[in-house]
Structure 1
């Protein structure tokens, strides 16, 4: 999908370019955001959400099935993953569904803007790509 890339930069006094530590971000079907500062295996997330599967936002495209993250895979820091209902595992992703996921991610990530801004760090939702219909 390439929907959820981000860039971060500091607005702290003195021009210091510190960044928040990289995290793994998981967007739940209800829009809740879960963040992990340490590597975590997909199976740990899936054991808490047995009716869902995980998708890496970087690998989701229009008119393709959502690619499942293998249970034993370690989730990557600085990546955004979507928890998707199992009922959607065999359906192809439409442009509207990908846009809806992008809006959901944007809403979830906007909360981080508030948190990071209060710490002097700005988090920006920076691009939406690969949304052309094939």
Structure 2
């Protein structure tokens, strides 16, 4: 996904120009529906994140491409520090990702990360 290029940076700049240095020290999960950001300060299992979301799946932002199905992460996989993940409704798992949907997710991620700063 286009916004993934920035997920490996060790620092970002906040809205007021301060340097944000903890980018790679958390796992970030963005809800694709409402854009809310969940952050975890240690690696966490997919099954833990999904425990409160029975009608959803997790996917890595690195695996999202226009025209392709979004791969669901297995419950026994550990989320990696410094990465961005999306919580997606199961109803989206059977449809290829459109450019419009990908752009919408990128905007939600950008807003969530800005709000965090």
TM bucket by the smaller chain? Answer: 0.7 to 0.9
Which has the higher relative contact order, 1 or 2, with Cα contacts under 8 A spaced 6 or more apart?
1
TM-score by length of 1: 0.74
Greater strand content: 1
Distance 1:42 1:100 in 2: 23
Match of 2:27 among 24, 30, 35: 24
Aligned pairs for 1:1-134 (under 5 A) are 1-4=1-4, 5-6=6-7, 7=9, 8=11, 19-20=21-22, 22-28=25-31, 29-113=33-117
Larger Rg: 1
Relative to structure 1, is the Cα distance of residues 18 and 26 closer, same or farther in structure 2, using a 3 angstrom cutoff? Answer: closer
Greater helix content: 2
User: Shift of the alpha carbon at 1:22?
Assistant: 1.2
Q: Deviations over 1:57-95 (max 9, x none)?
A: 011000000011111000000000000000000100011
Measured on the aligned residues, the alpha-carbon RMSD in Å equals 2.0
Relative to structure 1, is the Cα distance of residues 104 and 18 closer, same or farther in structure 2, using a 3 angstrom cutoff? Answer: closer
Q: Which runs of 5+ in 1 are unaligned?
A: 12-16, 114-134
User: Shift of the alpha carbon at 1:101?
Assistant: 0.3
